[in-house]
Each structure stands twice: as structure tokens, then as C-alpha cells.
């Protein structure tokens, strides 16, 4: 089973998509297995991180900006190479274990769609695998 979601992003940010992934798992009826969350874009990614303190996301965005600043030496004509670098750094998927039809996440964990190049209309997919 594969579930496809659309997301309109306003700007570079981490968008909490945990509820969408939970919805896909519930609809699938799969009791035990895994959910693969995948982003089919080259300037956005998927990651799992803290969902309690919003300053964590702020700090992640700050640190990614410091690590991958725009550089005049970049050759990519679209001008968004730093967004491509951040997306590769974060990765394009995450896998979460499913137990008793629930996502097995840590108390402070959320699943994020990481936008590095908004505003855009984005898509992400959830593939629910049964044991």
C-alpha cells in the first residue's frame, strides 16, 4: 500500500508530517511492519527529530545554513545548490517500525518534511509494509 500526500511549503522549514504518516498506517490496517516515508524531490528531504522544543528545528536550520552556505563558485544554473546539499545531507527517506498499528517513535520524535527551497508544492509518499 502506498499513500501519497501533497504539501504546500511557504519557505525553508521543517514541516511536521507525523500525523499524515499515522493516518496512512491506520488506513492500511497493518498491525506489524514498517512505514517508509519518501520524498521525491532534490531540494527537500525527510528526517526524524525532536518535536517538543521548536528551537531544535530553528537550530537545525541555522546549522545547515552555516554548513552549506551559498557560494559564488557553485555552477548549478538554478542557483540553489545549497538547497541540494542540505537535501542530500538530510536524506530523502525515513523508516519507522509499526507495532499494533502504531508508529514506534521515541517520546520526543516527530517525522519532518524538510523544505530547503520553498515556496513549492511538494509531494511525499508513505509505503506501509506488512510483516
Residue nearest to Zn ion (CB): 78
Angle of CA points 97, 99, 104, to nearest 5°: 50
Residue 14 C-beta: closest distance to Zn ion, Å: 20
Residue ranges in contact with Zn ion by CB under 5 A: 78, 80
Angle of CA points 27, 113, 106, to nearest 5°: 70
Q: How many CB atoms lie within 10 A of CB 89?
A: 14
Residue 63 C-beta: closest distance to Zn ion, Å: 22
Residue 59 C-beta: closest distance to Zn ion, Å: 25
- For Zn ion, give the closer residue by CB, 12 or 24: 12
Amino acid at each position: 500500500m502506498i499513500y501519497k500526500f501533497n504539501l504546500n511549503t511557504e519557505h525553508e522549514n521543517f514541516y511536521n508530517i507525523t500525523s499524515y504518516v499515522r493516518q496512512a498506517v491506520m488506513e492500511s490496517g497493518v498491525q506489524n511492519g514498517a512505514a517508509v516515508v519518501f520524498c521525491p524531490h532534490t531540494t527537500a528531504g525527510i528526517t526524524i527529530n525532536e518535536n517538543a522544543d521548536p528551537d531544535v528545528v530553528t537550530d537545525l536550520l541555522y546549522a545547515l545554513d552555516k554548513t552549506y552556505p551559498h557560494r559564488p563558485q557553485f555552477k548549478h544554473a538554478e542557483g540553489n545548490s545549497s538547497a541540494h546539499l542540505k537535501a542530500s545531507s538530510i536524506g530523502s527517506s525515513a523508516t519507522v517500525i509499526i507495532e499494533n498499528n502504531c508508529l514506534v517513535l521515541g517520546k520526543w520524535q516527530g517525522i519532518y518534511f524538510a523544505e530547503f527551497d520553498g515556496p513549492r508544492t511538494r509531494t511525499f509518499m508513505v509505503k506501509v509494509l506488512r510483516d
